[in-house]
Amino acid sequence: MTKKIHVVPHKDGWATKREGNDRASKVFEKKSDAVDSGRKTAKEDKTDLVIHKKDGKIQDSDSYGPDPNPPKDKIH
């Protein structure tokens, strides 16, 4: 699986950042714009999106990749 995409606070607003990278991928003035961009990238890369609060704590996350633990009734 590709490394997760994080939406994190940044000195210039909000940023998207790939897990493990020191530098931001993109910087945005508004959090909603960073979330939209991060969600698009996560969907394209089939990975997880992790959204952080202003204090850095995780607010929410969404997975766009294959489910590693699908429900038993969904296994073929």
Domain boundaries defined on the chain = 1-55
Mean pLDDT by 10 residues, the chain (76 residues): 91 96 96 98 96 97 81 64
The whole-model pTM stands at 0.85
Please give the pLDDT value at position 38.
98
Buried b / exposed e along 52-62 (16+ C-beta atoms within 10 A) = beeeeeeeeee
Say what the pLDDT of residue 46 is.
94
Where in 1-76 does DSSP place strands (E)? Answer: 5-10, 13-18, 26-28, 48-52, 58-63
